Amino acid sequence: MRGTLSLSEESLFMTHGTLPAPATSPLPVWDLSDLYDGPDSARLHADLAAIENEARAFRETYLGQVASLDGPALGSAIATYETISERLYRILSYAQLLHAGCMTDVTIGQFLQAMTERGTAISSLMIFFTLELNQIEDATLSERLQDPTAGRYAPWVHDVRLFRDHQLSDEMERVLNEKDMAGAGAWQRLFDETIAHMTFDVEGEILTSTEALDRLSDPSPERRRAAAKALGTTLEANLRLFSRITNTLALDKRIDDTWRRYPHPMAARNLSNRVEDSVVDALVSAVRESYPKLSHRYYALKARWFGVDKLNHWDRNAPLPDSDDTRFTWEEARDTVLNAYAAFSPDLAAVGKRFFEQPWIDAQPRPGKAPGAFAHPTVPSAHPYLLVNFMGRTRDVMTLAHELGHGVHQVLAGPQGALMADTPLTLAETASVFGEMLTFRALLDATPDPRRRRIMLASKVEDMINTVVRQIAFHTFEAAVHAERQNGELSPDRLCELWMGVQSESLGPAFHFDPEYRTYWTYIGHFIHSPFYVYAYAFGDCLVNSLYSTYQQGGIPDFPSRYLDLLSAGGTKHHKALLAPFGLDASDPEFWRRGLGVLTGFIDELEAMT
């Protein structure tokens, strides 16, 4: 059967969807057998064949008929569409997670590609359904959604219809969907596998990208400098390839945007995020205007702590000179996060605890594993999985709190079903950033020593700057790249110039940048996989800061219960409706000033300590 692969001897340990942790390591590794028991699973390939047959039958039944369906029949059709979609997502989720666990294994890469190709072919059979749904007149559709079966899906239908003006014909949509595997999808895979295979020679020590980037937080300036130079050397050697990938994907997006009649490169992302252009513009303007009192002011303060006029770029995430480089065991990190969650809401912590009781987290750093961290929702009928690369630092505890927040959010939203559980990116960061804030506050409140409190507060400020300032700088870089790509290909040097321009603007005059820093844009995967994703981090951070500030001030009865309701809504409500119970409105400029004010207050506190 197509897609059935024989695994090489080197990858047999993946057959059952898990990786055994070394005996000396207490770090957990996920077990994917809740999805499927291996790439050769008979159940997986039987499911795949059945799903394809169901998709063909769905097409035969409903092609050209959607507009004529009455309310009950429309509800039944959407329910069938959801069931087929969820079964397909389960297979694709398994393939993606398997690949994330070992991105350098050729046979696993082939398995992922085979499942992606098969999944694309199946999804192409059903593209017609949403296109025909969008052709129904508003009044007619409104009447049909009065039926309880169809009405349950009203939020999803509303979101589908947001794209009415940008959809193409069924035939054209199928062509674009299937061509993506040899187009954008192929370039994205090339990027992923290039990054996964990269090694960095740091003074004779061969490190992965995760390990080399972690070294930039080392207490030793010599070790930080060596890692920074090694990163720059290897990224420079691959600069032409990364530039080609970036140019090609930007061109691909421009072509797609032109055919779909999007007015500007960010329009598609804003629409999918269900957020107005004016709200995003207000966020970006508010953050950029605040650079001097946020990042510029903080890094000038950090330079004083280091006794220098200017920081080197490898000092950006350096621990403070008097930091004790506190390390956490996995058990300490787990308990810290869960206790912080429980102090806010025992119900929230109870959901989070399941991730540690079950093998749903992969925390072990290892060669070939995807760098960074993520939470994958998989499908509502299963459960999310978390990937982190735990090195024991305080930042790793915060990352765990962040990804666990995503996981809890995904579990709570699961009952909304496969079509409505996912939130737009702007709201997807709510639980993760809130979980970070809960954990930080718990750690800070448990620390009476003023020196240690200053270190912790500085670390939190740096994390928030990375989330707000740095992500808006990333966004500004992306906007400039896509704007210039409208007029032709950008040279590697021009891409680096744009990068250095936004870095100088956002980080301020307290930094000295060596030449190798110009290539650091190349490893940022969001630019490749999800254009204009990054502003969602700043949106989420400011949103949570406003939300948390409201929580601290009191006055909102049953705040934790309302918060859990917000998470449980999944993608069924707009940000205005979700924030209304807390008296917040993201369209109000004061909302963003209030969110940024939390970060400003932390920096004020640090200056007072100094």
- Is the pLDDT at 22 greater than 60, yes or no? no
User: How far is 306 from 322, CA to CA, in rounded Å?
Assistant: 10
User: How far is 385 from 261, CA to CA, in rounded Å?
Assistant: 37
* CATH 1.20.140.70 in the chain, residue ranges: 9-182
Give the per-residue pLDDT at 322.
81
Other beta carbons within 10 angstroms of residue 114's beta carbon come to 17
User: How far is 265 from 44, CA to CA, in rounded Å?
Assistant: 38
Confidence band of 149 (pLDDT split at 50, 70, 90): very high
Tokens 């994330």 correspond to 100
Q: Which residues pair with 429 in a beta bridge?
A: none
Residue 18: strand, helix, or coil: strand
Sign of CA dihedral 305, 309, 315, 316: positive
Multiple choice CATH, 9-182, 1.20.140.70, 3.30.450.20, 3.10.150.10, 3.40.50.970: 1.20.140.70
Residue 183: strand, helix, or coil: coil
Give the per-residue pLDDT at 238.
96
Tokens 């079903």 correspond to 417
- Is the pLDDT at 7 greater than 80, yes or no? no
- What is the DSSP code (8-state) at residue 372? S
Q: Tens digits of per-residue pLDDT, 158-183?
A: 999 999 999 888 888 888 888 888 88
- Is the pLDDT at 415 greater than 90, yes or no? yes
Least confident of 20-29, 52-61, 153-162, 511-520: 20-29
Dihedral, CA of residue 447, residue 449, residue 450 and residue 455, to nearest 10 = -60
The amino acid sitting at 23 is A
Confidence band of 17 (pLDDT split at 50, 70, 90): very low
Percentage with pLDDT > 90 across the chain: 79
> Cα 249 to chain center, whole Å?
19
Least confident of 59-68, 160-169, 344-353: 160-169
Close Cβ partners of 423 (under 8 Å, ≥ 6 residues apart):
409, 413, 430, 570, 571
Give the per-residue pLDDT at 3.
29
Q: What would the mean pLDDT of 528-556 be, rounded to a whole number?
A: 91
Per-residue tokens: 220? 């030793």
Q: What would the mean pLDDT of 288-301 be, rounded to a whole number?
A: 96
Q: Decide: 432 and 402 in contact? Cβ < 8 Å.
A: yes
At the topology level, CATH places domain 330-464+535-609 in: Neurolysin; domain 3 (1.10.1370)
Least confident of 90-99, 154-163, 601-610: 601-610
User: How far is 335 from 184, CA to CA, in rounded Å?
Assistant: 41
Strand pairing report for 385-387 and 374-376: antiparallel
Q: Which residues pair with 386 in a beta bridge?
A: 361, 375
Q: What would the mean pLDDT of 386-410 be, rounded to a whole number?
A: 95
- Is the pLDDT at 15 greater than 50, yes or no? no
Q: What would the mean pLDDT of 331-338 be, rounded to a whole number?
A: 97
Q: How far is CA 282 from CA 279, 460, 502, 586, 598, in A?
A: 5, 24, 18, 9, 18
Least confident of 68-72, 449-453, 467-471: 449-453
User: How far is 584 from 580, CA to CA, in rounded Å?
Assistant: 6
Give the per-residue pLDDT at 374.
95
Give the per-residue pLDDT at 586.
86
The amino acid sitting at 590 is E
Q: Which of 310, 174, 314, 188 is nearest to 242 (CA)?
A: 188
Close Cβ partners of 553 (under 8 Å, ≥ 6 residues apart):
none
Give the per-residue pLDDT at 511.
97
Mean pLDDT rounded to a whole number for the chain: 91
- Is the pLDDT at 1 greater than 70, yes or no? no
Close Cβ partners of 273 (under 8 Å, ≥ 6 residues apart):
424, 425, 426, 536
Q: What would the mean pLDDT of 383-402 be, rounded to a whole number?
A: 94
Give the per-residue pLDDT at 558.
94
User: How far is 375 from 405, CA to CA, in rounded Å?
Assistant: 9
Helix boundaries (H) for 134-238: 138-144, 148-151, 154-161, 170-179, 184-197, 209-215, 221-237
Confidence band of 5 (pLDDT split at 50, 70, 90): very low
- Is the pLDDT at 260 greater than 70, yes or no? yes
* CATH 1.10.1370.30 in the chain, residue ranges: 330-464+535-609
Provide DSSP, 534-585.
Answer: THHHHHHHHHHHHHHHHHHH--STTHHHHHHHHHHTTTSS-HHHHHGGGT--
Confidence band of 587 (pLDDT split at 50, 70, 90): confident
Q: What would the mean pLDDT of 87-106 be, rounded to a whole number?
A: 96
Close Cβ partners of 332 (under 8 Å, ≥ 6 residues apart):
none
- Is the pLDDT at 11 greater than 50, yes or no? no
For 331-338, the CB contacts below 8 A with 24+ separation are: 331/26, 333/390, 333/392, 333/396, 333/397, 333/400, 334/400, 336/397, 336/439, 336/442, 336/443, 337/397, 337/400, 337/401, 337/404, 337/435, 337/439
Give the per-residue pLDDT at 379.
97
Q: What would the mean pLDDT of 128-140 be, rounded to a whole number?
A: 95
Confidence band of 407 (pLDDT split at 50, 70, 90): very high
